């Protein structure tokens, strides 16, 4: 396996693209043989970042692009989610648990908390009026046992 | 969604993201206006994926029914979903039961 393999996808800010985004990243991460728990962590974290882009970054807009870039370095998955939306004025405030600017949508204000809980590292770069990039990484333990079991189950060996 | 006495049972879809939470929020408002609802039971037995939208969805219902002394339950929670619920701290305000029947008995 090469040390660096990249993937990038670009899609519109329609809410039904959220599920596509998380499934695409999970499929990309599959080459690291993640456990089911790790796949769930990745899907949830990606879903949080993409949801933020849609309901905050592109709030009130019908068009806008979201770009996801993924990279694998050894046993580490790196994912970035970028939008060209309104940006975040106060990043540390936005990352506070229970803080939300959309309470009318019953948003919990736990999006960044979840990203931080389910990934190893989360950094946010944002410029008001220009957009936001969330970068996340996670070390994958590579579940060889499960992978062997799966291979046997589908008759690869 | 079904109403039994003053208990609203919400069958949650497989993937609880922003869209599913919005759909449930909309359906809940309709039911809530019609019926005299006190307790809410989230049947999570079909749920395979959840993000923080699910937490907002549950907290939102808790905020509604607590004024009438109502309770909120989650039932049929898988290990994976349980992990997410635990991490969010939501079990401080809602209770988990194995199934809908048990939740109804606790209402």
Exposure of B75 in the CB half-sphere (CA atoms within 13 A):
21
pLDDT at A107 over 50: yes
Stretch B8-34: mean pLDDT, rounded? Answer: 94
CB-closest option in B15, B19, B52 to A111: B52
Task: Quote the ipTM score.
Answer: 0.91
Summarised one tens digit per residue, pLDDT across range B54-67 is: 999 999 999 999 99
- Domains, chain B: 2-106 (3.30.750.24)
Stretch A40-65: mean pLDDT, rounded? Answer: 95
What is the overall mean pLDDT for chain A?
90
DSSP lists the bridge partners of residue B49 as B15
On chain B, the residues whose CB falls within 8 A of the CB of A47 are 17-18, 49, 51
What's the whole-model pTM score?
0.90
For residue B5, the 8-state DSSP code is T
For residue A54, the 8-state DSSP code is I
pLDDT interval class at A146 (50, 70, 90)? low
Interface contact flag, A55 B21, Cβ < 8 Å:
no
Work out the number of other CB atoms within 10 angstroms of the CB of residue A124: 18
**What does the alpha-carbon distance between residue A153 and residue B70 come to, in Å, rounded to a whole number?**
47
Exposure of B31 in the CB half-sphere (CA atoms within 13 A):
23
**What does the alpha-carbon distance between residue A16 and residue A78 come to, in Å, rounded to a whole number?**
23
Residue of A nearest to B55 (CA): A108
Stretch B8-33: mean pLDDT, rounded? Answer: 94
- Domains, chain A: 4-153 (3.30.565.10)
Summarised one tens digit per residue, pLDDT across range A73-90 is: 989 999 999 999 999 999
pLDDT value of position A100: 92
Is residue B54 within 8 A of residue B78, CB to CB? The reply is no
pLDDT at B104 over 80: yes
Interface contact flag, A106 B84, Cβ < 8 Å:
no
Is residue A74 within 8 A of residue B81, CB to CB? The reply is no
pLDDT value of position A157: 41
Interface contact flag, B80 A37, Cβ < 8 Å:
yes
Choosing among B24, B50, B51, which should be mutated to test the A contact, i.e. which has the most A CBs within 10 A? B51
**What does the alpha-carbon distance between residue A1 and residue B30 come to, in Å, rounded to a whole number?**
54
């Amino acid at each position: 396996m090469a040390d660096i393999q990249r993937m990038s996808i670009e899609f519109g800010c329609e809410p039904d693209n959220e599920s596509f985004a998380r499934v695409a990243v999970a499929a990309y991460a599959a080459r690291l043989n993640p456990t089911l728990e790790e796949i769930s962590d990745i899907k949830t974290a990606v879903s949080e970042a993409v949801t933020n882009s849609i309901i905050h970054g592109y709030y009130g807009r019908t068009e806008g692009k979201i770009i996801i870039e993924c990279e694998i370095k050894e046993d580490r998955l790196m994912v970035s989610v970028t939008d060209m939306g309104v940006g975040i004025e106060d990043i540390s405030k936005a990352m506070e648990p229970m803080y939300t600017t959309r309470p009318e949508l019953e948003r919990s204000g736990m999006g960044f908390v979840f990203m931080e809980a389910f990934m190893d590292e989360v950094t946010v770069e944002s410029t008001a009026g220009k957009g936001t990039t969330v970068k996340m990484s996670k070390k994958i333990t590579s579940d060889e046992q499960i992978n062997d079991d799966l291979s046997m189950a589908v008759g690869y060996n | 969604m079904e109403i039994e006495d003053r208990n609203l049972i919400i069958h949650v879809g497989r993937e609880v993201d922003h869209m599913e939470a919005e759909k449930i929020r909309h359906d809940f408002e309709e039911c809530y206006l019609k019926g005299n609802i006190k307790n809410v039971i989230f049947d999570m037995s079909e749920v395979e994926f959840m993000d923080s939208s699910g937490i907002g969805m549950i907290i939102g219902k808790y905020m509604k029914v607590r004024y009438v002394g109502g309770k909120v339950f989650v039932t049929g929670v898988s290990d994976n979903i349980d992990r997410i619920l635990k991490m969010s701290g939501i079990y401080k305000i809602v209770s988990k039961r194995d199934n809908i029947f048990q939740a109804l008995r606790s209402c």
